[in-house]
Structure 1
């Protein structure tokens, strides 16, 4: 393929990075995976997990690679939040970073893998001071997550296969950051055919024994409609 090499060499080069915000639901709280930086700049500061895009991979693939290294998981739900490129965002070098958020079930978490990266799960309502523009990335990720959770079934990425309606309501209240009327919530959620009641009963978290529901991916794929 012919290229005008002068066009490319005449321009400055810069690094492209990815930052991954990994969320899970732990004991009813929305938590984010953070790590402490092991190098300068900002040595010891709380940080998101990230890395640089390699010459032989796409930006998306770089994010999936970082996510797999951190969690040991594949086929994880992940969405791009946007690009962050302020001139002074990284004191170490000129870096443009593309941020992503991912949702994983707590039962799928590899505790040893997380510890190996000196990472910890932190309640999103009690985040420590973070380095660079990571707080901005997190705010935009949560805003995007809240917007999408009302029209797409992404919240089920955080729930076990079987759940009660109370667990589901608590999750939505956690994501959206506001309480929901129990009757209205259940009416709206059960209008979605992809939410199916099973014959199973929850005898652990419910004294009376609440019915367990499940999210039917095949039914959702047939209609591709979901509303809250």
Structure 2
């Protein structure tokens, strides 16, 4: 016999902060809402959790439905439950953040998203609901996380230069980094593999590198701590 709760139950949603890096600055993927509330306003991808799915399944489904993104790095961020955060009623949102390379994931709106587009963090439109707060929280998490986990490599192409890697860290941290110290620390890591390939250009071509995930995972099992 099904049980009936005597207390009202809030609705549950998921919202996804999708970060990207275009080589010049940190970006976030937004959708333009095609339905009320906030019709025509930019927002984070997301939606209501279905009764038969868990939270991560809901987040991945909403990402694919609204932006066509799939098989991306995804991590739970925080739960947002201010009683007045949604004009439709009592809605609690579990937020997630994803890290992707924008060139591999062009923006594409679908379902209740009339449009999707990449925006630089420094030039954002007004956002629906409390999504500006969610985005700020995700950015703070990312800035802390790249210091002790190599998640930044998710934002780069498979082959990259040390200059590109430094530009990524500077974009996320919002400040310049000493080039010599940064490279010295990175090159000491056994999972950053130099390749016999170089970028084009007649003057001082830069060596390409790749991130060896398997080697990193092996080092972690042995007690290795990543820190920059």
Give TM-score, length-normalised by structure 1. 0.91
Kindly indicate whether residue 115 of structure 2 is the aligned counterpart of residue 124 of structure 1.
no
Deviation at 1:103, TM superposition (A): 0.6
Is the alpha carbon distance of 1:133 and 1:73 closer, same or farther for their aligned partners in structure 2, counting shifts above 3 Å?
A: closer
Kindly indicate whether residue 32 of structure 2 is the aligned counterpart of residue 42 of structure 1.
no
CA distance in 2, matches of 1:139, 1:24: 15
User: Mean alpha-carbon deviation: is it higher for 89-98 or for 39-48?
Assistant: 39-48
Counterpart residue number, 2:48: 52
Counterpart residue number, 2:10: 14
Counterpart residue number, 2:214: 218
CA distance in 2, matches of 1:207, 1:67: 42
Counterpart residue number, 2:65: 69
Kindly indicate whether residue 134 of structure 2 is the aligned counterpart of residue 137 of structure 1.
yes
Structure 2, gaps ≥5 residues long: none
Aligned counterpart in structure 1 of residue 74 of structure 2, from 74, 78, 85: 78
2:158 is paired with a residue whose SS is coil
Aligned counterpart in structure 2 of residue 183 of structure 1, from 180, 185, 200: 180
CA distance in 2, matches of 1:71, 1:160: 20
CA distance in 1, matches of 2:73, 2:210: 18
2:122 is paired with a residue whose SS is helix
Write out per-residue CA displacement over residues 175-221 of structure 1, whole angstroms, 9 at most, x where no aligned residue: 111100000000111121111111111115x8311111110111101
Whether contact under 8 Å (2:149, 2:227) holds in the other structure is yes
Give TM-score, length-normalised by structure 2. 0.91
Alignment size in residue pairs:
222
- Which structure has greater helix proportion? 1
CA distance in 2, matches of 1:157, 1:181: 22
Counterpart residue number, 1:203: 200
CA distance in 2, matches of 1:110, 1:34: 12
2:27 is paired with a residue whose SS is strand
Counterpart residue number, 1:227: 227
Deviation at 1:164, TM superposition (A): 0.6
RMSD across aligned positions (CA): 1.8
CA distance in 2, matches of 1:166, 1:193: 18
